[in-house]
Amino acid sequence: MIDGERDFTEEEYQGRLANVRREMAARGIELLIVDQFEHLVYLFGYLPTAAKYQLCLLPIQGDPHMIVRGMDFEVFRQQSWLTSWREFSDAEDPVSVACQEVSERFGKALAIGMEFDSHILTVGRYLQFQKELPESRIVDFSGCMAELRLYKSPAEIAYLRAASRIADECMAAAVETAGSGVPEREVAAAAYATAMRAGADNGRVLLGASGKQSDSIHGRLGQRHLEDGDVLHLEMVPQVRGYSARVVRPTFIGTPSEDALFLAKRLPEIQDEQIAAMAPGKSGAEIDAIARRRILDEGVSLSHPNHTGYTLGYHAQPRTSDHTRIFVPSAEWLLEPGMVFHMFMAVRGIAFGETVLVTEDGHERLTETPRKCFFKVVKERS
């Protein structure tokens, strides 16, 4: 933590602001409406709730101006470096308040940037902006800040390292708790308790599934008890200051099938080869092909429709994963230093995943859980 409740120095925030303003100038934008949660945090340090629409008015020059819910004002003051704001009450309409502030502070005929891919800018709000600012021209700013956020600063990497350490601790706790007859929820409770004690700040630290076929890796926590023959899928997703690391391992309860054993041995070997090739200048498609070719050519799977990795960084609800960059056959983008990825591979319920940082001369694996599956022996009952 820096400067009380602030996550970064004001110098770092100002550098981010300068980068965004360069993009605004290139598109002829005079005023940018920032409302995506990730970007309010990235630029101004403030994470609102979605109970009421909150946004920041960022002019090409001058102070940013926050439109903040009165009930959330003290949280805003603790988290943000901003010195200009307008509070609104719950009886007021935040879009109307924002439009009034735009007209009074910045003018009535502006080129206004909006992120059309924002999860918080609903169609209704967009149409209201158009109606209440009729003389202004709205310009799409989609994707620009997501691209800027790809390159992590040393301070951001420090948060990702801390999250990776917690992910490893959660995995160890979950595997230790798992066993035949143990409720799924006991395994989850062990991971959650470990995450909270170790410093995670999110409420969702585990994705899990169990059963003879654990392919439903994005399903919700159930009521079942683990039993002999189960594959327990464990994916740890803790966050530190919103920065998420991820690690995935399978755990076998009792005796696994021959197919499961084969996958548990071969998948990490393939992924190790893929991760070893990660370095600046390599394309996403080139790295993806290393894994995809092995999976398909060796008959490990007849098809592989999913990606083999995706961007990691700051995540805020409702977004739980960042697909600004994904490893697929069409990925022409290049790896660059400071990018962080979750390299992920799953076939028939057996999955492995790592948090990987691209460095100046190669890569670094931030998660350190042993690269293997885990076994929980079923004790014979007398």
Tell me what pLDDT residue 251 has. 95
* Structural domains counted in the chain: 2
Same domain for 349 and 256: yes
What average pLDDT does range 332-348 have in this prediction?
97
- CA separation for the pair 42, 117 (Å, rounded): 17
Same domain for 22 and 163: no
In percent, the amount of the chain with pLDDT more than 90 equals 87
Residue 359 lies in a domain: yes
Same domain for 314 and 228: yes
Same domain for 230 and 143: no
For the chain, the distance separating the N- and C-terminal CA atoms, rounded to the nearest angstrom, is: 54
Residue 4 lies in a domain: no
- CA separation for the pair 274, 292 (Å, rounded): 10
224 pLDDT band, cuts 50/70/90, is confident
pLDDT in tens, 263-316: 999 999 999 999 999 999 999 999 999 999 999 999 999 999 999 999 999 988
Same domain for 108 and 130: yes
Residues contacting residue 93 through CB under 8 Å, at least 6 positions apart: none
pLDDT in tens, 189-218: 999 999 999 999 977 776 666 665 455 555
Same domain for 86 and 26: yes
Residue 5 lies in a domain: no
Query: Which CATH number do you get for residue 204?
Result: 3.90.230.10
What average pLDDT does range 144-155 have in this prediction?
97
Residue 247 lies in a domain: yes
Final residue belonging to a domain, choices 128, 148, 168:
148
Tell me what pLDDT residue 205 has. 74
Report which DSSP code applies to 6.
B
Same domain for 158 and 144: no
73 pLDDT band, cuts 50/70/90, is very high
- CA separation for the pair 61, 228 (Å, rounded): 64
Amino acid at 382: S
Quickly tell me which residue has 């409302």 as its tokens: 35
Residue 2 lies in a domain: no
Same domain for 71 and 118: yes
Same domain for 102 and 218: no
Residues contacting residue 47 through CB under 8 Å, at least 6 positions apart: 37, 40, 41, 79, 242, 316
What average pLDDT does range 345-369 have in this prediction?
96
Same domain for 158 and 143: no
Query: Which CATH number do you get for residue 142?
Result: 3.40.350.10
Residue 13, pLDDT above cutoff 60: yes
Residues contacting residue 1 through CB under 8 Å, at least 6 positions apart: 7, 241
Residue 272 lies in a domain: yes
pTM of the model: 0.93
Residue 382 lies in a domain: no
Residue 359, pLDDT above cutoff 50: yes
Tell me what pLDDT residue 3 has. 45
What average pLDDT does range 355-375 have in this prediction?
97
Residue 96 lies in a domain: yes
382 pLDDT band, cuts 50/70/90, is very low
Same domain for 363 and 242: yes
Final residue belonging to a domain, choices 99, 116, 148:
148
Tell me what pLDDT residue 202 has. 78
Tell me what pLDDT residue 367 has. 98
Tell me what pLDDT residue 381 has. 47
Residue 339, pLDDT above cutoff 50: yes
pLDDT in tens, 231-249: 999 999 999 999 999 999 9
Same domain for 184 and 297: yes
Final residue belonging to a domain, choices 127, 148, 169:
148
222 pLDDT band, cuts 50/70/90, is confident
Domain of residue 88 covers 10-148
The Cα-based distances of 87 to 73, 99, 277 in angstroms read 7, 14, 51
Tell me what pLDDT residue 317 has. 81
